[in-house]
A and B are shown apart, each in its own frame.
Chain A
Amino acid sequence: MNTATTSRYTSEYRNIGPALPGKILPWLQQLRAEALVQFSAHGFPSPREEEWRYTNVSAIEKKLFSPLANLSASQIDVSWLKSYQLEDVWSVVLVDGHFSAEFSVLDGLPETVSVMGMADALTKQPELLEAYLGRAVNNAEHSFIAFNTAWFTDGLFVHVPARQVLEKPIQVLHIATQADVLATTRTVIIADEMAELRVIETFAGLANAYLSAAVMEVFVGANADMTLYKMQSESEKAYHFGGTYIKQARDARFTHHNFAFGGLLARSDIHVDLDYASACELNGLYLGVKRQHIDNHTRINHLKPHASSRELYKGVLDDRARGVFQGRVIVAEDAQKTDSQMNNRNLLLSDDAEADTKPQLEIYADDVKCGHGVTVGQLDESSIFYLQSRCIDEETARNMLTFAFANEMVDKIKIKGLHDMILEQVLLRFPQEGVEKEWL
């Protein structure tokens, strides 16, 4: 072990503490201080750690990304920003890691529901946050979490009280506008008993190198229902780290749709804790081109009996892109009657593309139904010939088949505006002439 590595970030960020939100909250100051100690001791994760063996983040250490103290006054291309903003949603826009009141749309929220920037929430609802912030994650888990806890500048806070069903989805739009900027955001979402909501996370950036490091903690109460969509369309030079940590109470349902399209190096961690008879569904689609490295790391903890989990991740990798899938399902001794199924399917479009896939089942209970399957393959030549024999040229045939492979995941999106936006992005990657969208 090389414990001598002290991250440059520790020294460079020494003086930013006073500019961070929540400095009058002792509990948060303590949380940040502990996280700082944790990060100082370990630095960024190293490929020597099992959960990071395929993903080397040393480039982040070599560069230095810096947070902005305040919302930048720089010019934002409004039409570009709006192209990612959905209609008919409540939206919180975070520009370079800071809440933008100008672009956020929160009119008509039910009074009992809270949707606001994290810095605002630390002022307005500190008691609630004290009870939740940091409770779904563990700083010791890995140092991106410690990094985030120590230095987050803003984020999203959502609280939906018991039995409240939110009609419109909430979108949190993360926008990066400047080179070398660090956007560290923390999100806390609390859905009380029987509440229902849909949340969309969108990440987009202009063509600069920047680091987006977002941690989200989700608490789905008893018999509550939440669907979370993530669309990661970072710039092609960007570094993205997104950690989503979900705690599901008894009978709670949680569905995640994770679309990873952008970034030079992008990593997502999704960890779910399942209580008695709760159910989760994790879906993912990653499309890698050029030299992109896209890593998805999921962990499902079956802690109590009768819970179910379904997971399907699909990857399409072209050029020299590399896709990583590490999926762990852990069934505790007490978690009898667990029903779990995990699948990862990869399509390689080039000889230089690579897929590393590692499903892991750890089962400590004896009466469970658990399965997993993994494939890494190429397009089927007989299918290509069939399409050619039906007048389709070879390139279009390949695009049609690849698109169809990916579209299985797009089809699962139940919010029309988001569905169309993502469909557009996938079609852009695999173009076909004269598309009738309703016939896809």
Chain B
Amino acid sequence: MLSIKNLHVNVGDKPILKGINLQVNPGEIHAIMGPNGSGKSTLAHILSGKGGYEVTGGSVTYQGKDLLEMPPEIRAREGVFLAFQYPVEIPGVSNIYLLKAALNSIRKHNGQPEVDAMDFLTLIKGKVRLLDMDEKFLYRAVNEGFSGGEKKRNEILQMAILEPRLCILDETDSGLDIDALKVVAEGVNSLRSPDRSFVMVTHYQRLLDYIKPDFVHVLAHGQIVKSGGAELALELEEKGYSWVEQAAA
């Protein structure tokens, strides 16, 4: 699914990622944990194609294709989805309008016929129920005036509609209370499938109580310093990041 090899990334002259290696197979959930400033969000941004970064070495292969060559919208149409840490407010563009435009872009990319308004409404209403959202959200401007929890739920709604193959969750749990976190986690869990993979970037172990990862990687100073199973997260919770940072040093 995704193969990151010796990836080096700079912001300006400053190296942020210094040789990342990561192999994600279909159906797997990988958690990337690490202290603030370790490069976690940079990794999520690089995978989704955000500008402002310079790749100075290494490669990222997604389904056999060079991911770094693709503009962001092509990555999205190919099935890469980034759930934002801070979802952007888009005044004047309604949620439902964006969702339908997005879904049809994917269908067109895949040579499928576009969905019409009626079929789309049926599809989306089912997903809205799944995420325990109010249908009114669909007709409001994207994320405008949404609470933190509503914004994150909206990201998961988009994910549910677009059915990506590779989901990158950037700090999805930050800013959520426990109830909102449960709803978001249920949404993510309902999307787990043997051919869909997740990369979850998170600072807090709490998220992993609700979404159980297959692998946990600890990122520090731009490198993966430790990898393990779900139990690694618990160990981190107990001992803190300084434990792995010191071990790596």
Instruction: Give Cα A401 to B89, complex, Å.
Output: 11
Instruction: Kindly identify, within residues 383 to 417 of chain A, every residue whose CB is under 8 Å from any CB belonging to chain B.
Output: 383, 385-394, 396-397, 400-401, 403-405, 407-408
Q: Known contacts A386-B90, A434-B104; is A391 also within 8 Å of B76 by CB?
A: yes
User: A387 to B98, Cβ gap below 8 A?
Assistant: yes
User: B97 to A436, Cβ gap below 8 A?
Assistant: yes
User: A388 to B87, Cβ gap below 8 A?
Assistant: no
Residue A433 interfacial (CB < 8 Å): yes
Q: Known contacts A400-B93, A404-B92, A404-B93; is A389 also within 8 Å of B49 by CB?
A: yes
Residue B139 interfacial (CB < 8 Å): yes
User: B91 to A390, Cβ gap below 8 A?
Assistant: no
Residue B42 interfacial (CB < 8 Å): no
Residue A75 interfacial (CB < 8 Å): no
User: B93 to A391, Cβ gap below 8 A?
Assistant: no
Instruction: Give Cα A382 to B89, complex, Å.
Output: 10
User: A439 to B100, Cβ gap below 8 A?
Assistant: yes
User: A440 to B71, Cβ gap below 8 A?
Assistant: no
Partner of A388, one of B49, B92, B103, B117: B49
User: B73 to A388, Cβ gap below 8 A?
Assistant: yes
Q: Known contacts A383-B88, A388-B71, A391-B105; is A401 also within 8 Å of B93 by CB?
A: yes
Instruction: Kindly identify, within residues 50 to 108 of chain B, every residue whose CB is under 8 Å from any CB belonging to chain A.
Output: 50-51, 71-73, 76-77, 81-82, 84, 87-88, 90-94, 96-98, 100-106
User: B105 to A389, Cβ gap below 8 A?
Assistant: no
Q: Which secondary structure dominates where chain A touches chain B?
A: helix
User: B72 to A385, Cβ gap below 8 A?
Assistant: yes
Q: How many residues of B contact A (CB 8 A)?
A: 36
Instruction: Give Cα A390 to B82, complex, Å.
Output: 9
Partner of A436, one of B50, B51, B100: B100
Residue B158 interfacial (CB < 8 Å): yes
Q: Known contacts A390-B102, A392-B101, A404-B91; is A434 also within 8 Å of B73 by CB?
A: no
| Closest chain A residue, CB of each to CB of B87 | A386
**Which residues of chain B are near A432, meaning CB under 8 Å?**
101
Instruction: Give Cα A380 to B73, complex, Å.
Output: 17
Minimum Cβ distance to chain B for residue A396 (Å): 8
- Interface readout for A421-440 with B: 1 if CB under 8 Å, 0 if not? 00000000000111010011
Instruction: Give Cα A403 to B81, complex, Å.
Output: 25
Instruction: Give Cα A133 to B80, complex, Å.
Output: 66
| Closest chain B residue, CB of each to CB of A437 | B97
- Interface readout for A19-45 with B: 1 if CB under 8 Å, 0 if not? 000000000000000000000000000
Residue B162 interfacial (CB < 8 Å): yes
Q: Known contacts A434-B114, A439-B94; is A392 also within 8 Å of B71 by CB?
A: no
**Which residues of chain A are near B50, meaning CB under 8 Å?**
385, 389
User: A440 to B101, Cβ gap below 8 A?
Assistant: no
Instruction: Give Cα A401 to B162, complex, Å.
Output: 21
Partner of B72, one of A389, A403, A405: A389
Residue B202 interfacial (CB < 8 Å): no
| Closest chain B residue, CB of each to CB of A411 | B92
User: A383 to B90, Cβ gap below 8 A?
Assistant: yes
Partner of A439, one of B96, B105, B114: B96
Instruction: Give Cα A403 to B73, complex, Å.
Output: 20
**Which residues of chain A are near B90, meaning CB under 8 Å?**
383, 386-387, 401, 404
| Closest chain B residue, CB of each to CB of A381 | B51
Residue B48 interfacial (CB < 8 Å): yes
User: A405 to B51, Cβ gap below 8 A?
Assistant: no
User: A392 to B96, Cβ gap below 8 A?
Assistant: no
**Which residues of chain B are near A393, meaning CB under 8 Å?**
71, 73, 105
- Interface readout for B98-139 with A: 1 if CB under 8 Å, 0 if not? 101111111001000010010000000000000000000001
Instruction: Give Cα A433 to B97, complex, Å.
Output: 11
**Which residues of chain A are near B91, meaning CB under 8 Å?**
404
Instruction: Give Cα A433 to B103, complex, Å.
Output: 12
Instruction: Give Cα A392 to B71, complex, Å.
Output: 11
- Interface readout for B152-177 with A: 1 if CB under 8 Å, 0 if not? 00000010001000000000000000
Instruction: Kindly identify, within residues 243 to 272 of chain A, every residue whose CB is under 8 Å from any CB belonging to chain B.
Output: none
User: A439 to B97, Cβ gap below 8 A?
Assistant: yes
Instruction: Give Cα A433 to B73, complex, Å.
Output: 15
Instruction: Give Cα A403 to B98, complex, Å.
Output: 13
The listed residue with most A CB atoms (<10 A of its CB), out of B50, B71, B77, B92, is B92
| Closest chain A residue, CB of each to CB of B103 | A391
Instruction: Give Cα A382 to B72, complex, Å.
Output: 12
Minimum Cβ distance to chain A for residue B205 (Å): 27
| Closest chain B residue, CB of each to CB of A438 | B117
Minimum Cβ distance to chain B for residue A67 (Å): 43
Q: Which 5 A-B pairs have the closest CB atoms?
A: A404-B92, A391-B105, A388-B72, A386-B88, A439-B97
Sample of 5 A–B contacts (CB below 8 Å): A387-B93, A393-B105, A401-B90, A434-B101, A436-B117
Q: A residues engaging B (CB < 8 A)?
A: 380-383, 385-394, 396-397, 400-401, 403-405, 407-408, 432-434, 436, 439-440
